[in-house]
Structure 1
Amino acid sequence: MRIRAYCDFYDEAFRPLQLVIKTEPGELDWSKTLYISLPAPLEPLEAEDYGDDRGVSVLLEDLVSQGEEKNSLGILLPQIYARHGMEFELLIIQMDDAEEILHLDRNY
């Protein structure tokens, strides 16, 4: 599994806009929540690095905090699978959504 950030100019600054998690086919158990720790710093990703892998947008309601773990979040894979009925190699998370979940985690 590889976690990277797609970056581009936004509000006059170059910043990460999406977290992109690349997995190998069959690597994920779609019946369980996937917990990840975000590496720091995030490795940048170019648009052409997306390749031909099947990707899915991870919605805010697909994300949960991991409790006491700083910079960690959970992805509700069963919820994504139920919505689409298939597995994906790329999970794409809007950085604003990840930051919202991580911010909620820091406030509790």
Structure 2
Amino acid sequence: MARAKVLAPVDTGRLRASIRLERRSVFGLRQRWTVGSDVEYAPMVNDGTRPHKIRPRTKKALRFKVGGKVVFARVVSHPGTRARPFLDRALRDVARSRGYSITQR
């Protein structure tokens, strides 16, 4: 959990503060734990997003500032975001430090 917090990108600090460690179950001598976040945008930060359209949910238009000017739009084409796999990297780092290796199927 500590490594994930160190690697989490910080804007407001909400994502980093939300990272938790939970004990899921015990199998024989092995324990199973989950590290993650309940912040709704955590998967989008870790995995990135594809290009997509943004539309207003409750109003007729979106309102935002561009270069100091207020702009209204009914639809905006978002270019997507680059993945910042801080949780994946934390898992690999901790596993490596303990002599384990991570394989994907």
The structure with the largest alpha-carbon Rg is: 2
TM-score under structure 1 length normalisation: 0.28
Point out the structure with the larger strand share. 1
**Higher relative contact order (CA closer than 8 Å, sequence separation 6+):** 1
